Amino acid sequence: MITNTKNILITIVGPTAIGKTALSIQLANYFNSEIISCDSRQFFKEMTIGTAVPDAVELASANHHFIQNRSIFEDYNVGAFERDALAKLDILFKKNPIQVMVGGSGLYVDALLNGLDYFPEVDIKIREQLTRQLEKEGIEVLQQNLKELDLETYNSIAIENPHRLMRALEVCIGSGIPYSTFKNKPKTPRNFTSVKIGLKADREIIYNRINKRVDIMMENGLLEEATKLYPHKELNALKTVGYRELFSYFDDEFTKEFAISEIKKNTRRFAKRQLTWFKRDENTLWFDYKTDVKDIIKTIEKKIID
């Protein structure tokens, strides 16, 4: 066991259903640390089955933070998570200089490890106005608006993505300053070093694990959970794989069987995007999902010493 080290945040990433939770608990127990959860949907207490929240035994095996600590009716975003998680880590590092973070939400992982660009608060009415404009006039009008207000951003973002397009526009309109001027500002330095561990498997194995997990979710009551949440389906937190497909079933757009197949398909696509995101970081230490935890610990300890 390593002692008297600088602050280290062991970060576990990888696609959904790969076994990140189990590994995080094993590492937390070995290093006598606690766990920061970095899953942007497990924050919400009304969503349990569909977000694969750790079960009671797992939660009791180590202290977890940011698990079901918010409501779907609250406005909680990546910037707020970065702020809250940094504050929590300051407290945890005073207990033990080695802590663990786990999660599959790449943007949230990056926010905590590296910081985000900060943008001014924007009146929600501007987003509502842009949404109406998109619906009535089409995306081309918004694209032209951004081209006129901020050519640099127009040339650098995926302008066919309405969410990114409206985000850039609302900042331009709300602040009176181009969106691009807020990017790439100096970030707040971190008081820790990250050792990032990635879990991987052959694509067929990942997909089979996802399909099996969805079947288990359905057996455990995902349909009933989605039924309770259906009246609030317009909330951003509920525009999530596993819920939105069942909402389409409730709206008679899908059969039940097709909805389940869509959950599996969309989760597989999500896992593919996760891997693409996490593989951008060449410093991530990748392990097969079946690797003995002792071997992973040896690698972590060597990395810390080096």
Binding residues, by number, are 14-21
Q: Which residues are annotated as a binding site for substrate?
A: 16-21
Residues 6+ apart with CB under 8 A from 56: none
**Euclidean distance between CA atoms 19 and 209, whole angstroms:** 10
**Euclidean distance between CA atoms 78 and 179, whole angstroms:** 18
**Euclidean distance between CA atoms 244 and 222, whole angstroms:** 12
Q: Which amino acid is at 196?
A: K
**Euclidean distance between CA atoms 165 and 145, whole angstroms:** 10
Strand partners, 65: 36
273-to-75, 105, 106, 255, 269 alpha-carbon distances in Å = 25, 10, 9, 27, 6
Q: Which residues are annotated as a binding site for ATP?
A: 14-21
